[in-house]
Structure 1
């Protein structure tokens, strides 16, 4: 069985869906640092209009969101949400080196990038269409709450429940990744309006940054698709 499971319904919504999964085991890795200010550089890149495929690719994500009933202007894909913040404010605030790294990759390549604490997973990551009964751990007004996705909503999930709602819009608290360490899982998600070379470039940037932050980590990198 593949490490990442893509349910067959996804091919109907987005037959051109392709992604790269990066599973990192940093249990015995060293402690490193980023050599460059990657987040600031990525914000500058966006402010200067890059990358050239951003409008088409983010437009494709908006179209796919509409297909499963989401409203992309209200709940955009994660890459669109980051880009809007940079276009409005010029910068997004730094959080920590790990989150800054995958946000920088998302901005520079106009691609949704998810980062998860794989040690909190129960079973394998699965991209599926919700039946509406699944549980999603989140926080509202400072309190932990359980939500249910809408029936027909595309979600990432494991055997316990939903880990990310509306494809890649909002991450849950149970598997949230806050710092380098243990087992970490990343997913870079693209549609047909982003080239294979660009997808590989985004994965290379993330892979290189992870090697700097966790020298000696073990990495499993795999391509997955709706097909």
Structure 2
């Protein structure tokens, strides 16, 4: 299995820094609560100094969304949505220990992080690219949508979209759940300083996965020179 960003995406967003973590052996039984609380507290401490709308990490995504023709206050990147919810409610919802950790780390770094069930992705390629318009996206409520032509999506080889509007919303099809054993985590930043933040974030995710599960995570920072991450397909067939 390969993960990459299409050349057109990198050309349109030259400030992109991205990376991945692949891990096996996760489940829903680990107690990640104390670590989730620590990263959430870090995010709350930063929010005490000002709204997430002023964070450089968030502003960079807002500018990108505006360039893509999206209203930034209507469609927010995942990390901004988490921070906004955290500021208003004081906590984040508990979903699954893997998701909870990734959400809390995303909020702490203000960088979008996607956690995908690797067995629900059809190989041999998962690519961040512009939609053709015929791809299928499964919403968390179960409905099927077709991303608009030109929209940035996570598309697999079967034409399934695992995210809409790039970092705005993941698909319910590959959401981490009770049966998940293999995960692919993707972090993406556009702000100045992302080249330092993303590797640190990946290291943090990998350390937390290894501390809570027999995961042996593999990380990779992607760049124009090394644009692809290759990981085992797991022998599961199409997602």
Relative to the length of structure 1, the TM-score reads: 0.87
Q: Which runs of 5+ in 1 are unaligned?
A: none
Please name the residue that 2:126 is paired with.
Answer: 125
- 1:101 to 1:179, Cα distance in 2 relative to 1, 3 A: farther
Matches within 5 A, 1:127-142: 127-140=128-141
Q: Which moved more, 1:101-110 or 1:65-74?
A: 65-74
Q: In the alignment, what sits opposite 2:99? A: 99
Give CA deviations for 1:164-197 in whole Å, capped at 9, x if unaligned.
0010211112111124742211001111423433
> What is the 5 A alignment of 1:1-227?
3-26=2-25, 32-34=30-32, 37-49=34-46, 55-123=55-123, 124-140=125-141, 144-160=142-158, 161-179=160-178, 181-215=180-214, 217-225=215-223
Residues matched between the structures, number: 219
- Which consecutive unaligned segments of at least 5 residues does structure 2 have? 226-239
What is the DSSP-based 3-state SS (H/G/I as helix, E as strand, rest coil) of the residue aligned with 2:143? strand
Q: CA deviation at 1:226?
A: 5.3
Distance change in 2, residues 1:14/1:51 (3 Å): farther
Q: Say whether the 8 Å CA contact 1:18–1:226 is kept in structure 2.
A: no
CA RMSD of aligned residues (A): 2.4
C-alpha distance after superposition, 1:1-39 (max 9, x if no partner) = x82121111023211111111111228x9x7544x6222
Q: Following the alignment from structure 2 to structure 1, what is the Cα–Cα distance between the partners of residues 197 and 86?
A: 21
1:201 deviates by 1.6
**Cα distance, 1:139 vs structure 2:** 4.2
Question: In the TM superposition, what whole-angstrom CA distance separates every residue of 1:70-111 from its partner, at most 9, and x where no partner exists?
Answer: 222111000000000111111112223211100111011111
Query: Which TM-score applies when normalising by structure 2?
Result: 0.83
